[in-house]
Structure 1
Amino acid sequence: MIKIPEKRLLQLKKNFRNKRIAIVGDMMLDIYFWGDVKRISPEAPVPVLEVENEIFRFGGAANCALNILKLGGTPEPIGVIGYDSFGSIFNSLLQEMNISHDGIIIDDERPTTAKTRVIAGSQHVVRIDKESKNTINKNIQDKLFKYLESIIDKLDGIILQDYNKGVLSESLIKKIISLANKKNVLITVDPKFHNFFAYKNVTVFKPNRKEAEDVLGMKIKTDEDISKAGNILLKKLGAKNILLTLGEGGIAVFEKGKPERRMPTKARKVADVSGAGDTVISTLTIALAAGADVIEASYLANYAGGLVCEEVGIVPIEADYLFETILKENK
């Protein structure tokens, strides 16, 4: 059983403040149309949603940036949006949150990645995705890398948040990891299926159970399966640490030369798992930047992920709430 003393928790919370974390990856806009259905359309046998509320939120790597902000850090989002209305809304959200837009490149050849959810009452009716999964061109890749290079000496950590939407190409991944290691900046990864094994020699690599199953071609059900998968990834990727998230099974942490550690999930009642992965990687990274070891950082990240699952929708966890909840439960 892992328990962090109160004095240590308070010190880590203090150290979260102003940690500058770059988030490189697929920036997204999440759009919600909430309303009520009272009739069927005369044009086709489909329900008519009378919209009562329209909400725009950060998704994907942008949600990581928001999580870093809410945890007390300074996010540096680095990614691509389109020259379109959704891109304008995305930039206005950055401005509203006082988050830097200097690392956001506009590519007029692709749309801003947007996911629109239509919700009637409590029923999710349909999701509409507008996106391009094509790899960004070399010119845009170079711009993103040059911006990261220009701020690297001011960074406390880097998150690579990959949703397989084309921003993190294999060549860009390798250049970023090489730069981070050369400058001795910690670098964490939340991967997807494509380019999975391009993420070699990082500080922490954080796949979920399904991602690990897909790339390893094995089912991960038993404790033995979990141990086997984690150790294979540790060896294949040359990572300092592997953090394997297991949904309701909590997390397993694999560290070079040390015994595997398990942590049960902290979600008391699961309402919605949306955004939990973004919260876990964000909390993990800022905790490591604040001086936590990988077990302490994983404990905090696991807790934060559990708290997010208790909320409906993609909601970042604030530092005060996270640490107050842990301190309260520890007593």
Structure 2
Amino acid sequence: MLSVSKAIAEVSVMVVGDVMLDRFTHGVVERVSPEAPVPVFRQKEAKTMLGGAANVAVNIWSLGGTAHLIGCIGDDTQGDDILRIIKGHDGIVPSLLKSGEHTTTEKNRIVAGNQQLLRVDREIPFVYDDISRVKFLAQCRSALDHVDTLVLSDYKKGVLTADICAALIAMAHEKGIPVVVDPKTQDYSVYSGADIITPNQKELAEASGISVDTDEAIVAAARRILQDHDIGTVMATRGERGISVVTAEDVHHLPARVKEVFDVSGAGDTVVATIACCLGAGFANARRIAEIANLAAGIVVGKFGTAFVTADELDAAMLAEHHSPEHDMPSLDLVEHWKQVGQRVGFTNGCFDILHAGHISLLQAARKHCDRLVVGLNGDASVRRLKGAERPINLCRDRAALLAELKSVDLVIPFEEDTPENLIKSVRPNVLIKGADYAIEDIAGADFVIELGGEVIRIELVSGKSTTGIVSRIRATG
């Protein structure tokens, strides 16, 4: 069980693209105009939100990451509104070129009740001159020194020209930074070399020249994109049909995860932001990344307006999806990422049936011996075999959720065997930590960790604290 908020708390993403202002003008329609057969809209209030590439940045911020936002705005009221709103988001670092020749793009949605009646767009596409082009690329090059992922958020408003895209992708790859593209132009050669591209179904059909009415056609269209433009993965968003993940080797069609669609505004931005955060956190499994992004999209379309998803909401959705011990095994990608960046990974395990002070003390002490602590959690069947038919008191998903929220715990992975030995061989921790009531020769996986050059540490337990004792006292007083 992975806590998203913990996984991406230190992730930094550079978002480059078309920055826009989304305005929602709310009111009521109670009569028809006597001047023409049109409804009379009586305005009540107007709300402004960040849109386009700026909404991608907001979603990264809301998930707990840091967004370095680079784009262009006009020297106008709408541009000032964007800067004012960004000041309220301490996780967004803006580098926005202001141009008197450019009009800030604004989308004004006229809404009566919960029904969108009309959208009024105000825009003049951005055009570079030689000076602004050099300045823009210099800002991007500087920001790339401080980020884990690059997002190109293309709304076809002039910022992401073919040469700008090529330069950014090349700069990112020089630094080993993955690139995610939300495309708009039909010529995907502009995005050549990107790691992940996220067209919707209509965009995929237009770019590939293939009608995409079936799963097979989606795969054929995506594979054409991969082959023609040297793109690593296509994650095609398909509305109520979910997301299709296509690489050169694999195909996965993931159903939509949504109870009720209320408003799709900005859902694509949420998908892109979630993908970028997962990549920045070290996830390498394309299917798992898409599953998490799919859950995020399902949350955001249940809200009204250009909405965003929070880390807590995504954690809860992932918990609801967690049905089997294998479900989070791709989280081992994250463990490998921690090791690659020089962090010391620790491992401990247990049933943790009723979380008590002894558990907390053990986990806090274990965390002091490592930079990241992975907890192996006995699954329900495993606990029954070890503790008897009346255990566990709490189901695995509930125990995992509690553990994942502890500050000392970075990752929880359930296992169904009687011992965590196989899981330890998958995690390959730098340090294995267990209670002092175990001799080293009796600790599962100890020999393996020592052979790897790792360390086995035994920690003194808090006397008189155990789940079995708690259960016995409850029964005695019941």
TM (norm. structure 1) is 0.92
Specify the alignment match of 1:275 in structure 2: 266
Asked if structure 1 preserves the Cα contact closer than 8 Å seen for 2:188 and 2:225, the reply is: no
User: Which structure is larger by alpha-carbon Rg, 1 or 2?
Assistant: 2
Specify the alignment match of 2:296 in structure 1: 304
Q: Distance in 2 between matches of 1:102 and 1:297?
A: 26
Q: Secondary structure at the match of 2:262?
A: coil
Shift of 1:327: 0.3
Shift of 1:100: 4.5
Shift of 1:263: 1.0
Unaligned runs of 5+ residues in structure 2 are 324-478
Q: Secondary structure at the match of 1:231?
A: helix
**Of residues 6, 9, 12 in structure 2, which corresponds to 1:14?**
6
Shift of 1:143: 1.9
Alignment of 1:124-139 (within 5 A): 124-139=116-131
Shift of 1:194: 4.5
Give aligned-pair identity as a percent.
34
Q: CA deviation digits over 1:9-65, x for unaligned, max 9?
A: 22x541200311011000000011111234555666654433221100011111000
Alignment of 1:228-267 (within 5 A): 228-256=220-248, 258-267=249-258
Q: CA deviation digits over 1:201-233, x for unaligned, max 9?
A: 111111111001112222101222112112111
Asked if structure 2 preserves the Cα contact closer than 8 Å seen for 1:169 and 1:195, the reply is: no
Instruction: Point out which structure has higher relative CO (alpha carbons under 8 A, 6+ apart).
Output: 1
Q: Distance in 2 between matches of 1:267 and 1:50?
A: 33
Specify the alignment match of 1:123 in structure 2: 115
Q: Distance in 2 between matches of 1:113 and 1:280?
A: 22
Alignment of 1:218-233 (within 5 A): 218-233=210-225
1:316 aligns with 2:308: yes
Q: CA deviation digits over 1:139-182, x for unaligned, max 9?
A: 32322211111121111111000010111000100000000001
Q: Secondary structure at the match of 1:159?
A: strand
Shift of 1:239: 1.5
Q: CA deviation digits over 1:114-153, x for unaligned, max 9?
A: 0111122233232111112354334323222111111211
Letter paired with 1:228 = A
Asked if structure 2 preserves the Cα contact closer than 8 Å seen for 1:285 and 1:297, the reply is: no
Q: CA deviation digits over 1:261-313, x for unaligned, max 9?
A: 22111112222211111000100110111111222211101111111122222
Larger mean Cα displacement after TM superposition, 300-309 or 168-177: 300-309
Specify the alignment match of 1:181 in structure 2: 173
Alignment of 1:108-187 (within 5 A): 108-187=100-179
1:26 aligns with 2:26: no
Q: Distance in 2 between matches of 1:109 and 1:217?
A: 36
Larger mean Cα displacement after TM superposition, 65-74 or 147-156: 147-156
Q: Distance in 2 between matches of 1:121 and 1:276?
A: 21
Letter paired with 1:15 = A
Asked if structure 1 preserves the Cα contact closer than 8 Å seen for 2:15 and 2:67, the reply is: yes
Letter paired with 2:277 = I
Letter paired with 1:253 = V
Asked if structure 2 preserves the Cα contact closer than 8 Å seen for 1:135 and 1:169, the reply is: no
Q: Distance in 2 between matches of 1:95 and 1:122?
A: 29
Q: Distance in 2 between matches of 1:303 and 1:248?
A: 12
Q: Secondary structure at the match of 1:97?
A: coil
Distance change in 2, residues 1:255/1:43 (3 Å): same
Q: Distance in 2 between matches of 1:326 and 1:102?
A: 31
Specify the alignment match of 1:64 in structure 2: 56
RMSD: 1.8
1:81 aligns with 2:73: yes
Instruction: State the number of aligned residues.
Output: 322
Specify the alignment match of 2:88 in structure 1: 96
Q: Distance in 2 between matches of 1:148 and 1:134?
A: 17
Q: Distance in 1 between matches of 2:40 and 2:290?
A: 45
Unaligned runs of 5+ residues in structure 1 are 1-5
